[in-house]
Amino acid sequence: MQTSSSKGLTDRSLVALAFLNFFLADARDGLGPFLDGFLATHGWSPMTLGIVATLGGVLGMVATPLFGAWVDASHRKRTLIIIPVVLVNAAALWTLASPGNASVFGGQSATAIVGAIVGPALMGLTLGLVGEKRFSHQVSRNEFWNHLGNVASLAGIYAATVVFGLNGIIGLMVLTAIAAVIATLAIDPKKIDHDVARGLANDDCAPGPSGFSVLVGSKGLILLAVALMIFHFGIAPISRLIAQDFSIQLGTPFRTTAITTGVSQLAMIGVALAAPYLIRRFGLASIFLIGLMALPIRGAIAGSFTQFAAIFPVQILDGIGAGLIGIATPVAVERIMAGTGRFNVGSRP
């Protein structure tokens, strides 16, 4: 595979990439973890919210490889981040303004489909900027800034709801979306090696095999996808049910979700800082196993205790498990897809 160093890469692009990850923490997911708490206090049942989440997950899963192929072929990766950010936040504002069936199901479906392009586009952009050798380190840096942005966003949302109520949430969403767009535009497009960004081999600038043949023909990629699917089936409902339960109990959906999510994000910051050393010291497979092992422990604690204090160990384990998996996955995909020219087809949203 072609390698690319940071030689000639401007400080502006690296700083802009850091800011992009910081502001994408809030801008790429719309309401994100706050949706369940917000809708639960508006009378939505856990079953209905589960259907909304499942629909979004399935649509995102189907859309991701298709959009990944688009990212591989495109030289406008910055645009493929900007447009989804604008559309996702428009859908979130629609849901806040009118939390009915049309806005929730329609908005979340649109968010899942359009938002599925952001992950592959960001990974392709990162790989094209720093190259293969520095990719795993840069992914950890991306995750650090992303989780730091989440913590800042959660603190901002908590304060905004106390001072301004729902209007504060709307204002914060608009500001972070604008900031994410500005950060994206600040990345120098001339510094993006689009052959490296798609995982082409050093001696082959041809497009390589089709995205479909790569997906179905790679045993490692299929096994990774199955493992991640099972992992997310287990880990995602826990956070959603916690948010719903305590939002109803305490009557403060945004502040409650800010606290519960903030705990996991703080843990993820520590994980992001430690991940490069852990990968070098123990290997990628061991990091995956540690991340996966956090799930059953987290589930056992969440199912055994109903006090609000239980969210601390539960969400810390979420930060460890999801944090490690979030960093290890793109690194594993890059290694599996090396030389195919279809790196972003295998990327996750």
Q: What is the pLDDT of residue 55?
A: 83
Identify the architecture of domain 11-345 in CATH. Answer: Up-down Bundle (1.20)
Phi, psi angle pair for 25, to nearest 5°? -50, -35
pLDDT band at residue 341 under the 50/70/90 scheme: low
Domain spans in the chain, listed from the N-terminal domain onward: 11-345
Mean pLDDT of the chain: 80
Task: Please report, rounded to a whole number, the percentage of residues in the chain having pLDDT higher than 70.
Answer: 87
**pLDDT one-digit tens code per residue, 59-98:** 887 887 777 778 878 888 899 999 989 988 888 888 888 8
pLDDT band at residue 324 under the 50/70/90 scheme: very high
Q: What is the pLDDT of residue 349?
A: 55
Q: What is the pLDDT of residue 112?
A: 83
Q: What is the pLDDT of residue 215?
A: 59
pLDDT band at residue 169 under the 50/70/90 scheme: confident
**pLDDT one-digit tens code per residue, 253-274:** 777 778 888 888 899 999 988 8
Q: What is the pLDDT of residue 339?
A: 62
pLDDT band at residue 348 under the 50/70/90 scheme: low
**pLDDT one-digit tens code per residue, 222-261:** 888 888 888 887 877 787 778 777 777 766 777 777 888 8
pLDDT band at residue 329 under the 50/70/90 scheme: confident
Answer whether residue 200 shows pLDDT above 70: no
Mean pLDDT of 116-130: 87
Answer whether residue 333 shows pLDDT above 90: no
Give the pTM: 0.72
Answer whether residue 199 shows pLDDT above 70: no
Answer whether residue 8 shows pLDDT above 50: no
Mean pLDDT of 210-226: 68
Answer whether residue 6 shows pLDDT above 90: no
Residue 9 — left, alpha, or beta (φ > 0 → left; ψ -120 to 50 → alpha)?
Answer: beta
